[in-house]
Amino acid sequence: MLRNRQARRAYDLLYLLTFRELKLRYQDTVLGFGWSLIRPLLQGAVLYVVLSKFIRIDVEDYGLVLLAGLFPWTWFQTSLTLAVGSFAANGALIKKVYFPRAVLPLATVLNNGVQYALSIPVLLVLLLVAGYRPDWTWLIGVPYLLLVEAALIMGIVLFIASLDVYFRDLEHLTDVFVGLIWFYLTPVIYPLSIVPDKYHDWVLLNPMASLIEGWRDLFLHNQVPGVDLWPALAFAAGAAAVGTLSFRSMQGGFADAL
């Protein structure tokens, strides 16, 4: 009974933090939630012009190919860069009262996940306008890929956010690595199909590569990812395990370190 009550309190707190952050982020703004779509749409528009008109990446329906990868990547990148400092930024709260510490980064991840989920209908409209016809596979593929990406993000975030309590440089390192290195090593602004064959296996060692391609296959071809998703599945499982274990081993010293 006590364990159920504690689990319920943790769930309520996670729900409160997630939607409070979502509400406060757009409070008193004219466009509201629209701001969460403006950045990836504008970034996609700029990249489309530069890469299809200037550099000339010759890919059919490149704008949709780009957005199909950019939207899920935005969830990944934004969650990592915002959540990595969630323990350090809430030091006063952590030292003052006990609560399940994991809800702090997880609330940020879920907040950005909700925004991504709400952006899918926008992509759906663009696909319909372009002549694509999504089918029943989305009912399976969208929840499946959301679950895999959420597990991957949460595992990484728990691990890095726990270390960040003791090594604050990790916030800056994460921002640089994810935004300037990992982004370009992942087929976001280019599809995997244009990568030379000799590099395919190396690119697919990146878990986000198979995940982004999985989203593209679903959005553009109505295909639920199969065995090609194994790097993302394996890394998500490993990240979830390592993140959870490292968090549990380090959280006891959070109050003293902060």
User: Splitting the chain (258 residues) into consecutive groups of 10 residues, what average pLDDT does each group show?
Assistant: 55 66 60 64 72 72 89 93 85 75 86 86 87 92 95 93 88 89 92 87 90 95 89 92 90 76
pLDDT of residue 45: 74
Neighbour tally for 10: CB within 10 Å: 15
Q: What does the DSSP 8-state code read for residue 193? A: G
Q: Which tokens go with 10? A: 């943790």
- Please give the C-alpha separations between residue 204 and each of 162, 193, 230, in angstroms, as whole numbers: 28, 12, 9
**Where does residue 28 fall: left (phi above 0), alpha (psi -120 to 50 degrees), or beta otherwise?**
left
Which residue, 110, 81, 47, is CA-closest to 182? 81
pLDDT of residue 34: 62
Q: Which amino acid is at 85?
A: G
Q: Is the dihedral of CA 153, 159, 161, 162 positive or negative?
A: positive
Which residue, 254, 236, 79, 237, is CA-closest to 162? 254
Evaluate whether 237 touches 207 at the Cβ level (below 8 Å).
Answer: no
pLDDT of residue 86: 85
Alpha-carbon distance 220 to 95, whole Å?
48
